[in-house]
Amino acid sequence: MDAANATRFLKSYNNIEDCLRTQYNVRASQSFTDLINRCADVNLVVRRYKDELTDYGKLRNAIVHKSLGEKIIAYPCDEVVETIELIEKQICRPPFILDVLKPKKIMGAAASTPLKQAMLQLAISKHSTLPIWEKGRTIGFLNVHTVFRQILQAMDSETDMNEFLAHAPCSIAVDPSEIGKAYKFLPKTATIFDCFRAFEAGKKTLAVFITETGSAEEPLINMLTSTDLPLLNKFIETF
């Protein structure tokens, strides 16, 4: 076995270390093990490969013996080199969400749309959420829970249900405060791991929407729900 594997290993190792120290503003005086332990709390890739990266820190010290003037005295096997290169790619050059899910037309309804019509659109969309728009911006979302809540309120007030559903604007069934909580917005430059983090950060997150800069004021480019996460995981495995 020649020095090529050791060279590739050290290149990926150094890139990972530099990237993490820069990204999370970690002092150079902190050891690689401390760096990995700290970043595992905030970086999904580091968390996933924490044990491997900790071992690679020890392996790096075995490969390069400082007392011998950085002379290589050990050589990692092919599997180790391929794994650390994979980790480097995911940490330093993570895939964008739009590399996996291409832009698509998102079905929604205008705020003035009658509630009954919006409910039909929600059913046709085969999604659990229907964006509600007003003057080009997303003001909230319609789902079965918000619809049922409005219907129950109408029933309690003895409102004629046919009249209510036919004429009440669907905007009455949305809660603007859910934007940023149950529904997250990310820019089109978001990575796959940004999306994972959005779902992980809020256990009640129902959907993540992609716009130009991550603002609800912009047209929707794509949307993700928890059912898309297995697809993202599969993409990462072959990335």
pLDDT at 154 over 70: yes
pLDDT at 65 over 80: no
Q: Are residues 47 and 137 in the same domain?
A: no
pLDDT at 67 over 60: no
Nearest Cα neighbor of 56 from 93, 29, 73, 81 is 81
**Cross-strand bridge partners of residue 223:** 209
Q: Are residues 75 and 187 in the same domain?
A: no
Q: Which CATH number fits the domain that encloses residue 105?
A: 3.10.580.10
Domain boundary among 93, 125, 155: 93
Mean pLDDT confidence for 87-98: 94
Q: Are residues 58 and 143 in the same domain?
A: no
Q: Are residues 231 and 145 in the same domain?
A: yes
pLDDT of the residue at 70: 59
Q: Are residues 35 and 147 in the same domain?
A: no
Domain boundary among 93, 113, 133: 93
Q: 61-75, 110-124, 131-145: which range is least confident on average?
A: 61-75
Locate 44 and state its tokens.
Answer: 């999904």
Q: Which residue has the higher pLDDT, 210 or 64?
A: 210
Into how many domains does the chain fold?
2
pLDDT of the residue at 71: 65
Mean pLDDT confidence for 48-71: 82
pLDDT at 16 over 60: yes
pLDDT of the residue at 132: 96
Locus of tokens 């890139």: 15
Q: Are residues 51 and 115 in the same domain?
A: no
Mean pLDDT confidence for 77-104: 93
Q: Are residues 187 and 226 in the same domain?
A: yes
pTM for this prediction: 0.81
What is the distance between the alpha carbons of residues 196 and 210, in angstroms, rounded to a whole number?
A: 13
What is the distance between the alpha carbons of residues 97 and 75, in angstroms, rounded to a whole number?
A: 36
Please write down the long-range contacts of 200-204, taking CB distance under 8 Å and 24 or more positions apart.
200/44
Q: Are residues 24 and 54 in the same domain?
A: yes
Mean pLDDT confidence for 62-74: 67
Q: Are residues 121 and 208 in the same domain?
A: yes
Q: Are residues 229 and 165 in the same domain?
A: yes
Q: Are residues 233 and 119 in the same domain?
A: yes
Q: Are residues 134 and 164 in the same domain?
A: yes
Domain hosting 113: range is 100-237
Domain boundary among 93, 121, 149: 93
